Amino acid sequence: MNLDAKVQKIIQWRESFCTLPDKFFFELVRIYLGEVKTPYNKQKLAEEIGAFLRKKETRDSIVKFLDGTDIKILTAIKFLNEPDIEKLEKFFSSSIQQGDFYSAVASLEERLLIFSVHVKNEKNLIKINPYLEDDLSGLLNLQNLISPENEKKFPERRLKISSDLLAVFICYISSHPDICKNNGELKKKASSDLAEIFQENFNKEFFETLFKALKNLHLVQEDSEGKGFFVDWQRLELFSNLTFGNQVAYICAACTGSFSRSMILSSAEIFFKTLSFLKQEVYTRQKIIQIVFLLKDKNSRYSENSFSRFSRIVAFGSSAENSSVDSKFLDAMLDCAIELGIVDSLSEGENEFIRVNQIFEENKSQGSLSIDAGFSVIVLPGFLLSDLVPLIKFLCPKKCDTAAVFEITRQSVLKAFDFDMTKDQISSILKKYSHYEIPQNLLVSLDEWADSYNSAALYKGYVLKICPENSIVIEKKLSSYIIEILSPGIFLMNFSSDEQAKNCVERLGLDFVGNVKSTKKTAPALGFPEIDFDSKILACSSEILPIENSMISGSKKEVSKILEDLKNQLENISASAEQKEGLEERIKRRVVLSSAQLRPESVKFELTEASGMNFTGKLRVLESAVQNEDLVEIEMSTTKEILIGVPRAVVKNQILFLVCKNPETNSVEEYEISIALISKVKKIRSSASFLNLVAKES
């Protein structure tokens, strides 16, 4: 028989409720139904709790008592893919303190808003109570987590990455191979030159960050003989064909370190998609980290391969391993984006606001240049990097401000000839972008420099030496491989490999030729995959990230009045001081929804917090936590350090063994603590979701 989906969920909740640890099960029953009478039936008690939840006034009160943190956690549970306690903790690691997070989730479970379901892979998935799903549907909107902030006035920045700036900097590197020290720091001469080129806009850290990215992308490579750095023009041309948005995403990913090609691609992909999603809205850094988490987590179902390798760097919502890398890696990319002017940043109090810069928007190539008789070239804004790469091969940078100023010199043109450019190609490129005729004296100089360059040549490659009388055979059969006939019987060949060279020669019947004398080979450059804004992951994201106005739960005034009325009614009830204290604690925890729940006999007093000189109280709290496997929050008197974990044992009333999960490294650590050095201990209320949270990893 096929059951309705809602009915199946209710059955699942009921089974989960019945399998709660006895202590937690009976505590919830006492809170909502009163003292448990024996004999009892767990299934029947679960049905009574269900009947209690079916009452509209019950559901209305539960929803009314929700606060901002409750709504955020419930929203995350709704939108994350298969959330468990660890995934939720990771998601909120940048916005909610660990102890506060554990308490909030325990509170939601105690107020019957959520429950946990054990699945085969040993995970306890957290779900929203099906009785409350409809009441919460309009309230749980992703805007609760990642809504943009109000518009802010960001400080103006003059130095921002652009196609012009990239071209000028790469052009400088090309003619100054000794630009940096081994540690990536600009040399004094390079700093001085760049300060002259960029004038008041020069910032040493900016260019060191950019150089690091170019080096990690292998657009700039270190010479094998230790003679500095050189530009890989083939790879640069492939890179320049990307959109500017793709280029800056790759640069930000490469700024963070030297990774494999697949890791650079994956991290650039998620960063590009994040910036594309943000558009030019203002977000806090914390929200941006959560947006990335949601994009990765929610869309992994649609594209298995999109981020599988990226998880090695940023384990967003997947494995417990390397959780500390999640926000740290994205933080590093954001820091690079801020340094390079890709995003704007503004700090106000504890919050940092971030907005994507205008420069992220794509432009069509519409640049032009002008050349004067002194061979000075002014490149006006509007060029794409793909247009500028051929230009900077034969130019020398002089200034970069609103427009970039270059100079054509004998040395810069000879350098272009080394890159296999011809004088005709140079003049053709200049004519293409200039609105005026090329100065005649420049054309004459290009002819002179070309003649001078061609008057002598230094070759490197495969040389075939053969008897002069057999030369005619080589010229006929291997003509497509001949670069130059150096002298009778001596040929410079363009074989791509030793194997090709040997096979070609052997096919001519020259099988007596030995192995090829070694020569260095250059592998073809690998390109940069284009990152598509309209890919499945983004299209899907637009569906799951609606922009709606969230419903408002009960106003603070209204909730405060209800709680105050309940406290007043409690004053008139005949009960012991301990029973009244227990009931008042329930009112504070928002588990008392009506005066009918103010039953003194349902209270079992339990000490949950002790501090200061109350050594006996601290000991009682810890011993109770050991017995029930409860989480505790401990504050040390000497260091003021806060530790959260599961106490394993109390030895001789003096030493506590505490197992904690380090939020920084996500690793499990065991502490041996003197109880005398504990200034405060607080038990985090028992929750089924927390049982074995740390124990399973220890």
Is residue 66 domain-resident? yes
pLDDT at 686: 53
C-alpha separations of 623 from 619, 636, 652, 686 in Å? 6, 18, 12, 14
pLDDT level of residue 523 (50, 70, 90 thresholds): low
pLDDT, mean of residues 435-446: 91
Read off the pLDDT band of 551 (50, 70, 90). very low
403: in domain: yes
> Is residue 408 located within the same domain as residue 487?
no
CATH at residue 16: 1.10.10
Query: What is the band of 238 on the pLDDT scale with cuts at 50, 70, 90?
Result: very high
Mean pLDDT of all residues in 504-509? 75
> Looking at the structure, do residues 390 and 344 belong to the same domain, yes or no?
no
Provide the residue range defining the domain that includes 239: 163-360
Using the 8-state DSSP alphabet, how is residue 555 labeled?
-
Residue 398 has pLDDT above 90, yes or no: yes
Please, is 679 exposed, middle or buried when counting C-beta atoms within 10 Å of its C-beta (0-12, 13-18, 19+)? Answer: middle
pLDDT at 146: 85
Q: Is residue 245 part of a domain?
A: yes
Task: For residues 319 and 644, give the distance between their C-alpha atoms in angstroms, rounded to a whole number.
Answer: 21
Q: Of 96, 112, 142, which residue constitutes the final position of a domain?
A: 142
Q: For 2-24, write each residue's pLDDT tens digit.
A: 678 889 999 999 999 999 888 88
The model's pLDDT over 578-637, given as tens digits with 9 standing for 90+, comes to 888 889 989 998 999 999 899 988 888 778 889 988 888 888 888 888 887 788 888 988
pLDDT of residue 300: 52
Cβ-count burial of 638 within 10 angstroms (0-12 exposed, 13-18 middle, 19+ buried)?
A: exposed
Pairing of strands 369-371, 482-487: unpaired
* Most confident among 164-178, 246-260, 304-318 (mean pLDDT): 164-178
For residues 482 and 626, membership in a common domain is answered with no
* pLDDT(548) > 70: no
Enter the tokens of residue 599: 């039953």
Is a pLDDT exceeding 50 seen at residue 317?
no
pLDDT on residue 239 = 94
What CATH number is given to the structural domain containing 656?
Answer: 2.30.30.100
Does any domain span residue 525?
A: no
d(CA 591, CA 606): 17
Q: Where are the alpha helices (DSSP H) in 284-422?
A: 285-299, 323-339, 385-392, 410-418
Average pLDDT rounded to a whole number, residues 238-250? 92
Cβ neighbour number for residue 64 with a 10 Å cutoff: 15
Q: What single DSSP character describes residue 186?
A: B
pLDDT tens, 64-120?
Answer: 999 999 999 999 999 998 899 888 988 998 888 888 898 899 899 999 999 999 887
- Does residue 232 share a domain with residue 332? yes
| pLDDT, averaged across the chain | 82
Do both 37 and 169 map to the same domain?
no
Task: Quickly state the pLDDT bin for 388 (edges 50, 70, 90).
Answer: very high
| pLDDT of 513 higher than 60 | no
Q: State the pLDDT at residue 540.
A: 40
Which is it for the CA torsion 455, 461, 466, 472, positive or negative? Answer: negative
Residues 185 and 130 in one domain: no
Write the CA distances from 117 to 50, 52, 91, integer angstroms: 17, 21, 20
Same domain, 224 and 351: yes
pLDDT digit string, tens, across residues 637-680:
888 888 888 888 888 777 777 777 665 556 677 888 888 889 99
Residue 404 phi, psi (nearest 5): -95, 135
Q: What is the pLDDT of residue 325?
A: 40
What three-state secondary structure class fits 650?
strand
> What's the whole-model pTM score?
0.75
- Mark whether 620 and 481 lie in a shared domain: no
Does position 483 have pLDDT exceeding 70, yes or no?
yes
Instruction: Give the per-residue pLDDT at 537.
Output: 44
Confidence (pLDDT) at 534: 45
Is 535 part of a structural domain of the chain?
Answer: no
- Over range 349-377, report the average pLDDT: 82
- Residue 473 pLDDT exceeds 80: no
Q: Is the dihedral of CA 561, 567, 569, 572 positive or negative?
A: negative
Which has more confidence, 429 or 608? Answer: 429
- pLDDT for 42 equals 92
* Average pLDDT score over residue span 233-237: 94
Burial string for 263-302 (b: 16+ CB within 10 Å, else e) reads bbbbbbbbbbbbbbbbeeebbbbbbbbbbbbbbbbbbbee
User: Does the residue 546 lie in any domain?
Assistant: no
Residue 472 has pLDDT above 70, yes or no: yes
What mean pLDDT do residues 170-176 have? 94
pLDDT tens digits, 276-296: 888 888 999 989 988 888 887
The rounded distance, in Å, linking the Cα atoms of 111 and 566 is: 17
Q: Residues 181, 248: one domain?
A: yes
Angle, CA 620 vertex, CA 617 and CA 626 arms, to 5°: 145
Q: Are residues 9 and 130 in the same domain?
A: yes
Q: What is the pLDDT of residue 408?
A: 94
**Does residue 233 lie within any of the structural domains?**
yes
Q: What is the pLDDT of residues 33-52, one digit of tens each?
A: 988 888 889 999 999 999 99
Quote the number of domains for the chain: 5
Query: Given this model, what pLDDT does residue 77 score?
Result: 94
Angle in degrees, 0-180, between the axes of helices 56-64 and 556-571, rounded to the nearest 10: 110
More confident residue, 13 or 500: 13
pLDDT at residue 516, as a whole number: 65
Shared domain for 96 and 170, answered yes or no, is no
Helices (H) and strands (E) in the chain, counts: 27, 20
- Which is more confidently placed, 551 or 634? 634
The pLDDT value given to residue 666: 60
Q: Last residue of a domain, which of 507, 523, 541?
A: 507
Q: Are 675 and 635 in contact (CB under 8 A)?
A: no
Query: Is residue 543 predicted with pLDDT exceeding 70?
Result: no
55 C-beta neighbours (distance < 10 Å), count: 13
pLDDT of residue 359 exceeding 90, the answer is: no
236 and 354 co-located in one domain: yes
460-469, 516-525, 556-565: the lowest-pLDDT one: 516-525
Residue 596: inside a domain, yes or no?
A: no
Lowest mean pLDDT among 161-170, 462-471, 530-539, 561-570: 530-539
